[in-house]
Amino acid sequence: MIEEAEKEQAEARRLSWKMELKAKIQKGEAVPAEIQDEAAAQKRLEEKIQNYRKVIELDPKDVLGYFSLGTAYLEGKMYGPAREAFEQAVRVNADHTPSYFGWGQALEALGRTHDAIRVYEEGVAAGQRRGDIIPMKKMETRLARLQKK
């Protein structure tokens, strides 16, 4: 239920912020440039997420669609949905090492250290099978750091 609550909280924050910005614009109040930039960045992120969802709707076996969706969620600090997207990517392709890395990052952000360790270990094994050195090394580094705790 934590992940669902996080989704709802993020959506509520986004809608509240959007309403405040719209009210300021309607009142003719000056909106600082950094807020305008942040609003534009948020809009681009939402568009990315929607586009990746459409890709997945067209092809539910598109590992890169799930990976890209997970990456967009990570960018927006939406860790619950990111975890779900990366987990689905790994279900579609058990050897997609970048998805293991993203999945582990999302789990870490959610405070699920033991699960992150397990995912990184599986990801390292997948990296060894495929010869994916860069994601494998990144996971080994994070794994070592988590295991020291």
pLDDT in tens, the chain (149 residues): 566 666 677 777 766 766 776 666 667 766 566 656 777 788 889 999 999 999 999 999 999 999 999 999 999 999 999 999 999 999 999 999 999 999 999 999 999 999 999 999 999 999 999 999 999 999 999 999 999 87
At the topology level, CATH places domain 35-148 in: 1.25.40
Per-residue tokens: 63: 């590992």
Domain ranges of the chain: 35-148
What's the predicted TM-score (pTM) here? 0.76
Distance CA 100, CA 84 (A): 12
30 three-class SS: coil
| CB-based burial label for 73 (10 Å; 0-12, 13-18, 19+) | buried
Where do we find the tokens 């090394």?
A: 137
Name the residue type at position 119: V
Residue 61: count other Cβ atoms within 10 Å of its Cβ: 10
